[in-house]
Amino acid sequence: MGRYLLAVTSTAILLTGCQNSGNLKSQSNDPDAQTNSKSEQVLVQNSASPAAVTPLLNSPRNTDLWSLTREGMQLDLDTDQARIAAQLKWYAGHPQYMQRVGQRSSRYYHYILNRIKERGLPTELALLPVVESAYDPFAYSSGRASGPWQFIPSTAKYFGIKSNWWYDGRRDIITSTETALNYLEQLNKRFDGDWLLALAAYNAGGGTVSKAMRKNRNAGLPTDYWSLKLPRETMAYVPKLLAVAKLVRDAEQHQLKLPPLNNQPYFEIVDIGSQIDLAQAAKMANISTQELYQLNPGFNRWATDPSGPHRLLIPVKNAEQFRQQLAQIPPESRVNWSRYTIKSGDSLSTIAANHNITTSVLRSTNKLASNNIRAGRTLLIPTAQQDSGQYALSASQRLNRKENQLAQSNREKRHYKVSSGDSLWSIARSYSVSPKQIAGWNQMSTKTPLQIGQQLVIWKQPKSATTLSKRDQQLTRRIGYQVRNGDSLYGIANKFSVTINDIKRWNNLENQKYIKPGQQLTLYIDISKSR
């Protein structure tokens, strides 16, 4: 039996032909569920029951995963296209970025490459999470795409990826990888084996690509990827992957030192059989809770989901110790429970809020058919074994860190109650922020309908250079600056005698580390100091 125990259940799903393009990121990998075109029967696999998978990467010739990636490449990386050249220039000009992404992938790359090779797919696909999420399983976009493969909620739901208060399978390494590869295979089949069209469809949707092909066909034009007029993000999306793959293939030529990735599994999949407190599990495995969350990013809270998946990814060197410790602890001792006696005037929602859980969790835990409760009865409430700081990468702790970062940037936190007639655009305008920012702060899409009475968090802009004193305004000029090749925030700040934090604040870049050629920046410069 191999290192990996992969849980799969096969279910047949009927896919239909095309989708509306809509907002690009919110439609980034939406399956074609909104069309009447000819459908095909496909097989979709989701994590459920354990089955053995034999690794195929035990090649005696190569002990390095980058070499194995190069061996399995199938796409044409040498197409003479300006779009590939532009992306390659950017990635090659930012070697630190590639090194950082390579290091971040070290936990997952063996597993993902293994699954891709088992299916006989192009190994370039193992680099797709570089483009989608920079191999960050906690990556989250304003379009509500989440996880290493950046699934949006509608796509996740369509493919049966589980998501609830406890768990989000879009971030689960096993579940998201299996689903992404299934979907990519389906798209490849739909577009008659053309991987570039399949990749474009993964980003923009199959319907968007089919529509562009029909338009070209009717005009007597070619229908290959390079000839299609697609949304701007998709026009760059495929070239990004090809550029990254080309850079990996020709790393020595570009003097790029990729971090070593040995041809050895990083983790084992351990069947735990029941819910378990993640701090307790980390202690049993002799690893930090942060490491456990990095390997099991699908779990949102301080414990695994009581209804599964009942598995944890554990570093290979710690897996046997974890199994031995787990066998000594019965399921009923793996999670702490407190008892709460219902008082007169209590409601299930207030009890849930006071204990930082949801009403649905309370109902399922106590087998309640509705929200009706009676004073004097007792409720069982799941409780973390350690203080919240021990669960470093839980959803609540990630949100706290994000809010602390915003507070440190001098933004003021406001709460806004949605009224009749409000729109995301009108609210954003009144607070001098963008609709995309509000969507990000509230974990929603810019196209999510607002509900009257809904509470929104707004991080109001700090006092900016536009409100300088009259004397300072005479010496200060607002300029637009287009980022050039080779530019960095440090270099631009030095050139215009401003600070990096100023540039980030003026351009809402607090959560971004990098800038790209062609990006437009707003600067407020002191003309007596600028060079």
pLDDT in tens, 288-322: 999 999 999 999 888 999 888 999 999 999 999 99
Domain ranges of the chain: 5-249, 267-330, 336-384, 410-460, 465-526
- In the CATH hierarchy, which top-level class contains the domain 336-384? alpha beta
pLDDT at 396: 52
* Best CA proximity match to 125, nearest among 54, 180, 67, 65: 180
Q: Which CATH number fits domain 465-526: 3.10.350.10, 3.40.1640.10, 3.30.1360.70, 2.60.40.10?
A: 3.10.350.10
CA-wise closest residue to 438 among 418, 452, 419, 420: 418
**Cα 46 to Cα 40, 51, 160, 173, 411, distances in angstroms:** 19, 12, 7, 12, 42
Domains 336-384 and 465-526 share a fold: yes
Kindly list the catalytic residues: 132
DSSP string, 183-205: HHHHHHHHTTT-HHHHHHHHHH-
Span 206-225, average pLDDT: 97
Could you tell me how many helices (H) and strands (E) the chain has, helices first?
Answer: 21, 10
Query: pLDDT tens for residues 332-372?
Result: 888 887 788 888 888 888 887 777 777 877 887 788 888 88
Question: What's the confidence (pLDDT) of residue 142?
Answer: 63
Kindly report the CATH class assigned to 410-460: alpha beta
Alpha-carbon torsion, ordered 167, 169, 171, 176, to 10 deg: 170
In this predicted structure, what is the pLDDT of residue 76? 96
5-249 to CATH, choices 3.30.1490.100, 3.40.50.300, 1.10.530.10, 3.40.109.10: 1.10.530.10
Q: What pTM, to 2 d.p., does this model score?
A: 0.67
| pLDDT above 70: percentage of residues in the chain | 76
Q: If residue 15 lies in a helix (H) or strand (E), which one and from where to where?
A: strand 5-15
Indicate whether 52 pLDDT > 80.
no
User: What's the pLDDT band for 526 if we cut at 50, 70, 90?
Assistant: low
The pLDDT of residue 151:
94
Stronger pLDDT, 344 or 25, i.e. the higher one? 344
